[in-house]
């Protein structure tokens, strides 16, 4: 396992974090709750100590299940949770109505609820899930600082913020981490967010490193998803976007065969080898997927192969590849 200390903190995280949205049992198609529980247990066994969740995942279910799966180790794990997307449940049993909400009073309310579901006294890293355009960021950050002073959060960060938003938040309450969506098919953060975080000395955690499963190589041009799976509405699974992304998957296959890795392992490794990325948050529906994801650690790609994955520049020969034994 690879570990790194997050900026402005004493938090030592595994560079591969388990994304716990599947524990909420919503938005990812059919999910077997017992298997997602096992995924958390297996992650611990393999040395993963970092678990990323949010109150909105399953309307609190993800946090509850994560706490149960971690057991007594929940006090030692680096739990990342998020708030800022509030909800009103549908009395008819349909999807809840969600809305952005980072008001100071919501900070306190959401935090207390997450602490109760997670069964811990302090959340190691607490993030604003998404910007709330109706609430001035300084009001939210001041409320978070007070929560830290009360000993209920250790460090704070933001998720899905622009570079400008990161700067504004960081001026009020120094951020430890920023979560962004970053992968071979989502490279826009290279233009602004990553340089901003490097300048300010903030650690970056990447989610979506597998393109919501597309970069695993499991899906082709005929990929279809049910209405209970958000991928049915994601643009990179549709039309010309899908065609272009499948060309990247083909390149992943070529590199993965050479390294005796899976396309998923190569895709995550590509993210981790960006020096601006502290860690990758990768979800799993079962323990087998966790085991595969851990295979992204303990080896390196040559620079020209990284470039090939981006632009398809022809590779005349693969030579002098360093194959490091994977010791998990």
Q: Which residues are catalytic?
A: 57
What does DSSP assign to residue 140? Answer: H
Question: Which residues have a Cβ under 8 Å from the Cβ of 155 and sit 6 or more positions away?
Answer: 6, 8, 9, 11, 124, 125, 126, 148, 176, 177
Tokens for 241?
A: 């976007």
Helices 287-294 and 263-272 meet at what angle, rounded to 10?
50
Q: Is the dihedral of CA 271, 275, 277, 281 positive or negative?
A: positive
Torsion angle defined by CA atoms of residues 40, 43, 48 and 51, in that order, rounded to the nearest 10 degrees: -20
The SS3 call for residue 157 is: strand
Tokens for 78?
A: 């680096």
Residue length of the chain: 328
């Amino acid at each position: 396992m690879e570990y790194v200390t997050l900026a402005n903190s004493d938090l030592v995280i595994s560079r591969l974090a388990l994304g716990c949205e599947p524990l909420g049992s919503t938005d990812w198609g059919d999910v077997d709750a017992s298997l997602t529980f096992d995924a958390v247990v297996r992650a611990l066994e393999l040395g993963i100590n970092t678990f990323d969740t949010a109150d909105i995942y399953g309307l609190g279910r993800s946090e509850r299940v994560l706490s149960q799966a971690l057991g007594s180790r929940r006090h030692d794990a680096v739990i990342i949770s998020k708030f800022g997307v509030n909800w009103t449940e549908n009395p008819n049993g349909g999807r809840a109505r969600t809305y952005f909400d980072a008001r100071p009073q919501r900070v306190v309310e959401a935090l207390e609820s997450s602490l109760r579901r997670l069964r811990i006294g302090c959340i190691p890293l607490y993030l604003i899930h998404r910007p709330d355009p109706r609430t001035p960021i300084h009001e939210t950050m001041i409320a978070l600082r007070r929560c830290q002073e009360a000993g209920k959060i250790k460090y704070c960060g933001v998720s899905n913020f622009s570079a400008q938003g990161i700067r504004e938040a960081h001026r009020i309450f120094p951020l430890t981490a920023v979560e962004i969506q970053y992968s071979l098919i989502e490279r826009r953060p290279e233009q602004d967010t990553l340089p901003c975080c490097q300048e300010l000395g903030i650690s970056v955690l990447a989610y979506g490193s597998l393109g919501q499963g597309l970069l695993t190589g499991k899906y082709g041009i005929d990929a279809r998803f049910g209405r209970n799976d958000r991928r049915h509405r994601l643009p990179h699974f549709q039309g010309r976007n899908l065609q272009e992304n499948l060309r990247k998957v083909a390149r992943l296959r070529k590199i993965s065969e050479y390294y005796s890795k899976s396309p998923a392992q190569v895709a995550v490794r590509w993210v981790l080898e960006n020096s601006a990325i502290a860690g990758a948050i990768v979800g799993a529906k079962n323990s087998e997927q966790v085991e595969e994801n851990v295979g992204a650690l303990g080896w390196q790609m040559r620079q020209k192969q990284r470039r090939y994955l981006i632009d398809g520049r022809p590779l005349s020969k693969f030579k002098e590849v360093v194959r490091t034994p994977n010791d998990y």
